[in-house]
Amino acid sequence: MSLNILEIIYLIASLTFIVGLKMLSHPDTARKGNLIAAAGMLIAIVATLTLYQEFDSGKGLNYGLIFLGLAVGTGIGTVMAKKVRMTSMPQMVSFFNGMGGACAALIAIIEFQHHQHATVTGFDGELLVMLLGLLIGSVSFSGSMIAYGKLEGKIKDKVLPMNQAINMFLLVVMVALIGFQLFNGSDPMLFYALLVIALIYGILFVMPIGGADMPVVISLLNSFTGMAAAFGGFLYGNKAMLTGGILVGSAGTILTILMCKAMNRSLTNVLLGAFGAGATGAAKTGSGDETVREITISDTAVLLSYSQSVVIVPGYGLAVAQAQHVCHELEQLLEEKGVEVSYAIHPVAGRMPGHMNVLLAEADVPYEKLQEMEEIKPRLANTDVVVVIGANDVVNPAAKNDPSSPIYGMPILDVDLAKNVIILKRGMAAGYAGIENELFFYPKTRMLFGDAKDSLQKLAAEVKEV
């Protein structure tokens, strides 16, 4: 009877995950959707702790350790979530994702301890699930930790000699280890060898990837963690865990494919191309004009105030300066003067999928003002002023004009089509992909140097006076 009740509760929890994921698709419902999914997970945990022991064959549960783990994990997670800055959100996503992969790998290790003493005839499907969970969970853990270090600036992009050949060799070895154990029985030495190789593979897999590809990698690693969690749910026959893992894995995979499509590149090219890793390049203006034209705060305020349409292109620099709130204030001031203001969002702007959407939502920017790349594209030619704040690679014309550029072929926001372009930057440093932006030298481009938040605050004050 208790087992039936538990299965029903797992089904309810699974439904809350689905409903929560659906609500995450819009900022107005995202927070509520997150709470609904979290409530479903809480219900599943409580039900497991209260009902599982009745059919646990007398083994009993160590509630002391369980609640200690819950308390420590909840405490650490709460503190990290409360203290994290918006600039560090990608790092936190990578860290939490890595912890999920580690948990999936630990489940495989623990279950293997019981399974290696079991007698199995024929194909051992349970062992296959353990081995796949161990492999994918370990790759997700070590890869996510490297991604965390790279985003934090503690690990530099590094391509080892014959890096791709080494990765392919390790992949073949891991497949061989799985195949050998499936047909020759479980072997602890081979099992833990697979664990070590998978951890090394995760490191070498992510180490050379940088630049604008980091959001794609984070999304892909997230899908890995989901798949590994689903394998754990399959091992335990836990419907809630299985459903949650499938949802995360499929959502991460779909997002990865969509982002690759938006970048006009295949996933294979992203993973093997080391895009943005150590790339260098110089601006090519075509006219030989490499003059940078500056603009003052006062002139910028006048230009914006007397425009009919303004498009703001946010980038990672906006997050670094924590200028999203003052940017929204400037937008409101311009709208009071009759200026139509919207935001152009590139799929890989920032350091994780949806980074700019989350950043602007925090500042209460209406979701309807956030225009995706394809949506805003036809309007740019008729836009009076484009204001680029902290974005670089996603507006770099080299993606269209320079076949030697590492970002060549990546769809960008064609801000150069607008009548005027104003770029807010601290200096002339290259973007995350490590290449200079030829847009800086275009005749219609004006540079407003300084800290983005400080510049926007002064600009907002000047707009009030115009």
Residue type, 222: N
Which two structure tokens, joined as six digits, stand for 61? 């549960």
Could you identify the residue written with the tokens 């949806």?
354
Which of 264, 369, 359 lies closest to 319, judged by CA? 359
Q: How many CB atoms lie within 10 A of CB 199?
A: 16
Which of 195, 172, 153, 167 lies closest to 271, judged by CA? 167
Q: How far apart are CA 433 and CA 281, in angstroms?
A: 10
Determine the length of the chain: 466
Burial label, 280 (beta-carbon count in 10 A; 0-12, 13-18, 19+): exposed
Q: How far apart are CA 214 and CA 193, in angstroms?
A: 29
Does the annotation mark 402 as catalytic?
Answer: no
Which of 364, 356, 345, 286 lies closest to 319, judged by CA? 356
C-beta of residue 327 within 8 angstroms of C-beta of residue 458: no
Calculate the alpha carbon distances from 78 to 49, 71, 73, 114 in Å.
22, 10, 8, 34
Which two structure tokens, joined as six digits, stand for 82? 């409360």
Residue type, 82: K
Which of 322, 320, 330 lies closest to 463, judged by CA? 330
Q: How far apart are CA 144 and CA 235, in angstroms?
A: 24
Q: How many CB atoms lie within 10 A of CB 188?
A: 10
Widest pairwise Cα distance in the chain = 83
Q: How many CB atoms lie within 10 A of CB 15?
A: 14
Name the active-site residue from 124, 157, 393, 416.
393
Catalytic site residues? 393
